[in-house]
Every structure is written in structure tokens, then in C-alpha cells.
Amino acid sequence: MADTMQAVIVHGPHDYRLEEVPVPVAGPGEALLKVEAVGICASDLKCYHGAAKFWGDENRPAWAETDTVPGHEFTGRIAAIDEEASKRWGVAVGDRIVAEQIVPCWECRYCNRGDYHMCQPHDMFGFKRRTPGAMAEYLVLPKEALVHKAPEDVPPWQVAYAEPLSCALHAVERADIRFDDTVVVAGCGPIGLGMIAGAAAKFPKRIIALDALPQKLELAKKCGADTVFNITEVDVVEEVKKLTGGYGADVYIEGTGHPSAVAQGLNLLRKLGTFVEYSVFKDPVTVDWSIISDDKELNVLGAHLGQNTWPAALRLIESGRLPLDEICSHQLPLAEFQKGLDLVADSANSVKVSLIP
């Protein structure tokens, strides 16, 4: 193994650089991973562009750190591991794994009650110096990491889709979908498509997918949507009410990250409906809260990461039920990370973009 490797280093918003850095060394109870593929998330793009969620503003401190390696959607093979780590995770040298994006502390009140995805320190691969991410040839899996064995007979860039898919499945679980529900999913990007597939597994009365791009809506049908609407061509609130006897949808899951999709969801839900918000927004969003309270008494729920949904995501990937060749649309070498970020921004011509170190 060489002493150095290529890695993308974060120096600040709009300043990511490909550099030659030392190969990290795994300590006791840790493992060294040879990265096979890393997906570029929309949150990576928003971090790159300086969103306040990551770099802070007058209302919150910065959460992201400089001088680290981005990338939290990844798979790879164990390159080095000691007996302690091997026993803990049930893996050995050569095994393909995925690791959950959060590295919990296992000591805070959230971790102690099983809500590890809301861990108070909230170290995540790719955003903190303590947990460098996977836009590199190698990374270290800390002893606190959550590691899962991954399918061997699926291309690595499709295995790495387990991260956004696990997030999508968590949003679906938060929605508490029932058999007679009309479920609307806004946004047919990588997470939105996973939401559709997850909702389909709950077998509701109908699933409606919303997007502005015809090709994304066609992909939504392949993932399980019964009906699709192009938001640029029809009044989706009116169309949903037509399908539901004038009531509106039972469940709305927002996965676009666009402010207009929030008001859209509030307007097309029925009274006592459920709104699940998953997106990371670049800027604050303002809505009429009277719709939530006095008008409809809505259940508004947030969703974050993929608590306990990774095994299901891996099973779904391995099942062959998803059109993964179409969802995982672009694979680029690590040196073309900037092109990858640009492709993620160009959602009309990409779905899931991955880097291959």
C-alpha cells in the first residue's frame, strides 16, 4: 500500500481541492476501508455552495468544518482491521461494507435511548475533521461507526445508494402510511425515488409523484408511483383533490428542497393529514402556519437520516426491484469531483452521481 493517496479536501465554500495526502492509519478497534464508490448528495452540493445549514449565519453556528474530506454515501472493502473491530462488526479483510453516515457518540441522551441518528455531538462522515469522508482512496472507520455487510453482486455505486435509500425509508416510516391512504411524494430525485419505492412497499391506495421533469416522472413510475403530475403543466392541488373526492392527500412527503414545495404540500393535504419534511433547504422557508393549525390540524413531522433502515435499504437494493441502472446515472473518477458537483446541480441531466476513487 502506498503512503499517500488522492483526496478531495474542503477549504471552505466553493473551495474544494484534489490533493495528495497521507493514507490514514486505523487505530485500535478501528478499520481501514478502501473506498470503491462515493455518491454526491444534494447536501454536499449545498455545503459546497455555502448554505447556512452548514456554515452558519446570525441564527446558528457553523457545523461543517474545513480541512476534512467530504463524502458520506459510500461503500468499500476492508483493507485492514484488528480482532476487536472484526468481532464487533462481523467483518474481515476483503469484505464489502457500508457505514451509516452518522458516527454516534453512544453516550448522549439520544444515543442512550436508541435515537442514535439524533446524537448530540452529531459527527458525520464528510463534514467533521474527526470523521473524514469517502472522496478519497481510503478512510478510517472509527470504533463508534455503524457498519453493515453489503451485497457482493451489485456494482459498488449502486451499493452506495443505500445511504439515500435508507433516508428515504426513514421518511416513509415517519409517515405511518395506511392501506387506504393517498400518498404524495414531491421530488423524484434519488431520495424521492426511494420514498416512492418505500411507500409502495406499504401498499397504500395510491401513490402520486410530483416533479418538473418528464424523465424523472417516468422513473417514478418504475419505482412504484401510480400517478404522476408535472408541476409545470397542471395545478397539482386541484388534481389531487379530484382524485380524492375533494378531500386532498392523506400523506405528503417533501423531498425537493425547494421552498415552493412546502406550501404546495400544506395546500394539497386533507384535514388531519400528515406532512413529512425530509429536505435540507439552502435558505429559510416561510409558510402560513394557520393552515397547519386552525385550518387543518395537520401532523407535521421532520425526518433525519436513516434510523434502523439500512438493512432494509440493502435488501431492497439486492432484490432487483429498483431500476438502479437508471437511478445511478453517472460514475466519474475522483479527479472529476467538480464535474460531479456540477452534474448534481444539473438535475435535468442526472439522478445519482458517484465518484470512483
Mean pLDDT for back-to-back runs of 10 residues, the chain (357 residues): 95 97 97 98 93 89 95 98 98 98 98 97 96 98 98 97 98 98 97 98 98 97 98 97 98 95 97 95 89 97 97 97 96 98 94 97
What is the structure's pLDDT at 40? 98
Residue pair 39/191 in contact (Cβ under 8 Å)? The answer is no
Give every CB contact of residue 311 below 8 A, 6+ residues apart in sequence. 148
Residue-wise pLDDT tens digits, 263-286: 999 999 999 999 999 988 878 899
Question: Hey, how many other C-beta atoms are within 10 angstroms of the C-beta on 231?
Answer: 19
Residue pair 282/259 in contact (Cβ under 8 Å)? The answer is no
Element housing 156 (H / E):
helix 156-159
- 4-150+323-355: in CATH 3.90.180.10: yes
Which CATH number, 3.30.70.270, 3.40.50.300, 3.40.50.2300, 3.40.50.720, labels domain 168-302? 3.40.50.720
Q: What is the DSSP string of 167-199?
A: HHHHHHHHHT--TT-EEEEE--SHHHHHHHHHH
Domain boundaries, the chain: 4-150+323-355, 168-302
Q: What is the DSSP string of 104-116?
A: --S-SHHHHTT-G
What is the structure's pLDDT at 282? 76
In the chain, the DSSP E strands lie at: 4-10, 16-22, 31-40, 73-81, 96-99, 138-141, 147-149, 182-186, 206-211, 227-230, 249-254, 269-277, 299-302, 330-333, 353-356
Give residue for cell 433547504. 281
Residue-wise pLDDT tens digits, 193-233: 999 999 999 999 999 999 999 999 999 999 999 999 999 99
**Would strands 16-22 and 4-10 be described as parallel, antiparallel, or unpaired?**
antiparallel
Total-model pTM: 0.95
